[in-house]
Structure 1
Amino acid sequence: MPEIFVNYRTGDGQDLATIIDRDLRDRFGGEHVFMDHRSIPAGVKFENMLTSGVWGSKVLLCVIGPTWLTAADAEGHRKIDDPKDWIHHELHLAFENGVHVIPVIDERAETPLRVEELPKRIAKLASCQYRTYRHRESDSVLDRIAHDILDIVPGLVDRRESAARPANLSGVETRVQGNGIGGIWSSGPIVAGPGNQYHGDVFGGSKFNGPANTGPGTFNNADHITTNDHRTVSPVDNANLETPRASHDSGEEEIR
C-alpha cells in the first residue's frame, strides 16, 4: 500500500489536496501516494479501500480548509462530530494504528486547532505539529512537507533532489592510487569508459596502482617517463604520452 495518505474534505480542501497530491506524485511516484478519487479503481468497494489505505500508510496528511470545522450536514450538525464522517473515521483509524498525522492548514483557515473544538476521538489532532500552506510561498511549503515525509519514511527518494545533483554527464572518471606529482591521490575504482591508467614511477612519485581501465585510453607500464622539461622517463612512445588536463565538457578530473 502507498506510504502517504491524503485526507481531505470535499467542498473544503480538495483544491489544496490536489496540489499536494500532484507535487508528491512528481517527487516520489504515484505508487507511494493514496488519494481516494485517483487511487480507488472503478467498481471497487471504496470503504474497504479507504480503510486499507489508512492502515497501510506511514503518514497521513490531513488537509484543513476554511470550512473544515464548520461544514454541516442537512440537519445542521457539524460533519466532523459524526464518527461515520469519513474525515473523522480516517483520522481515528490513523491515531489508533500509529500512523504519523501531519495537519496541513490552508492559510485561510483558523489556526491553530483547539482541543475543545474537536471530537474526543480525534482531539489528538490539535497536538500534532502542523504546516500552514501559504499560496505565495507554495514551493517552500511543499518542499518542507516533502522533507517531513522523508524523515518519517526514509526509504522514499525525492526524484527532484536526485535530478538536481551534479552529474558526470560523460561517464568519464579518472582515479589513481598512490603518489602523484608531489601529492597523494585518492584511491577508488576506475569507472569503465575513456580515460588513462598509469602503473609505474611517474614524475618522481610512487606507482599508481588500481584496477585496469576497461575502456579506451593510454596505458603506460614503465619505470620512468621522460618529458620535455628533461625529467627522466623509460622507453615509452612519446606520441602516446598525454598530459592529463581538465575537461569541463568530458567531466575528466584534472591531475595536478
Structure 2
Amino acid sequence: MPDVFVNYRTGDEETTAAMINRELARRFGRERIFFASDSIEPGQRYPAKLIEAVEECQALLAVIGPRWAEVRGSDGRPAFESERDWTRREIGTALCRGVLVIPVLVGRATRIDPAALPEDLRELADCQYQRFDHRNADADLKALGNALSRLLPELGHEDRDARAVREPAEEGGHARMRTRDVKQRIRGGIGNLNGDLGTFVNEPQGPVNTGRGHQYNAPHFEGDNTGVQYTAGDNSGTVHQRFERERRRADDER
C-alpha cells in the first residue's frame, strides 16, 4: 500500500498536485504514492479505494491553493461544507486516524481560518505546512521530498535521490581501501593492475623482462665468475639466461 496520499481539490490546484505526485513517484517509487487518477485502475470502485488508501497511508499531503475554500459544489455552497465532498472526507479520515497531515500551501494561499472549517477539519489549520511556489518549483519539491524522507523512515529507505548521493561516496571509500590493500599486501612478483597503475614489478628477486629485446644485468660475482648476465625473450615466450665471460681488453693481456 502507498505511504503518501496526495489530496487535492478539483478546480483549485490539481495541476500542482499532479506535479507533486510525479516527483514523489520518481523519488520513492510509484507504488509508494497514492494519486487518485494514477492509482485507481479502470473498473475499480473508487470510493472504497480512496478510503482504503487514506486509512493505510502514513502521511497525507493536503494541496491547498488560493481557490481551495472558494470552489463551490452543485448546490452553490462551498464544496468543503458538504459531508459528501471527497476532499473533506479524505482529510477528515486522516485526521481522525492520527495520520500525519501536511498542508502544502501553493502560491498565494494562506492558512485557512479554523472558524471557517467544519468541525472535523479544524485541526487542519493547526498542522505545520510546506510551501510550494511555481517560481521555485525544483527547490520546493526537493524540500517536500526531504521532509517526507526524514519523517517516514521506511519511505526514506527507498529515497533514490539520497541513494544517488550516498553510493558514489561509498564507492570512493571502497576504491581507497582497495588501493591501500594493494600497497600493503603485494610483496614481490610481476602483475598487472587495471587502471592507471599498469604493470608493476615489485621487489624482483632475479632478472626481469617486461618487453621485447635483451635485458642486461651486471650482478656482482666474486672470484672467476665475473661475467655478464643477460636475459633474452619477451612477454609471449620463455626467458633464457646465460653467462659469458667478458673478453679481456688487449691492454690487460700485455
TM superposition shift of 1:173: 2.8
- The 1:68/1:174 distance shift into structure 2, 3 A limit, reads closer
Q: Runs of at least 4 residues of structure 1 off by over 4 A?
A: 167-172, 233-240
The Cα RMSD (Å) is 3.2
Provide TM-score, normalisation by structure 2: 0.69
SS at structure 2 position matched to 1:155:
helix
Structure-1-length-normalised TM-score: 0.68
Distance 2:76 2:172 in 1: 66
Q: Is the 8 A contact 1:197 1:217 kept in 2?
A: no
Q: Which has the higher helix share?
A: 2
Task: Kindly indicate which of the two structures has a greater share of residues assigned to strand.
Answer: 2
Q: How many residues align?
A: 199
Mapped to 1, the partners of 2:129 and 2:207 lie a distance apart of: 69
Change in 2 beyond 3 A, CA 1:217/1:196: farther
Q: Please state if 1:73 is matched with 2:73.
A: yes
Percent identity among equivalent residues? 34
Please list every run of 5 or more consecutive structure 2 residues that lacks an aligned counterpart in the other structure: 195-200, 211-254
Contact kept in structure 2, 1:174 and 1:196, CA below 8 Å:
no
Any stretches of 5+ residues in structure 1 without a counterpart? 177-184, 201-215, 219-225, 228-232, 241-256
2:116 maps to which residue? 117
1:95-145 Cα offsets, whole Å, 9 max, x none, are 111110000111132x12211111111100000001121111111111111
Whether the aligned pair in 2 keeps the contact of 1:59 and 1:152 (CA below 8 Å) is: no
2:159 paired residue number: 158
AA at the equivalent of 1:125: L
Cα distance 1:99–1:239, how it changes in 2: closer, same or farther (>3 A)? farther
Secondary structure of 2:175 counterpart: coil
> In structure 2, what is the equivalent of residue 102 of structure 1?
102
Any residues of structure 2 matched to 1:182-197 within 5 Å, and which?
none
- 2-side partners of 1:97 and 1:236: how far apart? 79
How far does the alpha carbon of each residue in 1:196-224 deviate from its partner, in whole angstroms, 9 at most, with x for none?
Answer: 66167xxxxxxxxxxxxxxx759xxxxxx
| CA deviation map 1:57-101 (0-9, x unaligned) | 000000012211111122211110112110110011101111100
CA contact (8 A) 1:65 1:105 kept: yes
Q: Which residue of 2 aligns with 1:132?
A: 131
CA-CA distance at 1:162 after TM superposition = 2.0
SS at match of 1:60: strand
Distance 1:236 1:54 in 2: 76
In the TM superposition, residue 6 of structure 1 has moved relative to its aligned partner by 0.3
Aligned with 2:164: secondary structure? helix
Q: Measure the CA separation in 1 of the matches of 2:163 and 2:206.
A: 44
Between the aligned partners of 1:239 and 1:171, the Cα distance in structure 2 is 35
Partner SS state of residue 123, structure 1:
helix
